[in-house]
Amino acid sequence: MASVTPTQARDSAGSFRFRKWSLKIASLVGAGLIFGLAYNWAAPRFYRPDQTSGFWMGALHGALMPVAAPSLLLGHDVPIYATANTGRGYKLGYIAGINGCGLVFFGLVFWQPGRRQHDPAVNVPAPSQ
């Protein structure tokens, strides 16, 4: 039987990390391209100049705003904020949309379903007296 040397184990772990991060980066780039194309389709439908936007449309616009980055980087001049809005309500919705989108996006990026943190100090029984 062949034994694994520490150097081989380190190389294997490094290769695994590299593949894991490469897959995450490729997934983010792919998702960005898909979101960019979807945003190009959605922008004319959700940013209509004849409509006054309120809280819920502000939340939608805020959630879509980070998705606009790939379209903007590809040279498309897409809207990210409705100029015809109701004021404070729209702005509060816009902020809620941005934060909700960030929560979902970064939650999915950093979520590790197979890994749980275990703190052995939490389950230590109290000393008996």
- Tens of pLDDT along the chain (129 residues) come to 556 565 555 567 678 888 888 988 888 788 877 877 787 787 778 777 788 889 998 998 898 888 787 778 878 788 888 888 999 999 999 999 999 988 887 777 677 777 666 555 555 556 665
Task: Give start and end residues of each alpha helix (H) in the chain.
Answer: 6-46, 55-64, 68-73, 88-110
Dig out the tokens for 113 from the structure: 């379903």
Count CB neighbours of 76 within 10 A.
13
Listed by start position, the domains of the chain span: 47-76+84-110
Tokens 């100090």, located at residue = 121
Judged on CB neighbours under 10 Å (0-12, 13-18, 19+), 105 is middle
- Identity of the residue numbered 21: W
What does the alpha-carbon distance between residue 24 and residue 110 come to, in Å, rounded to a whole number? 10
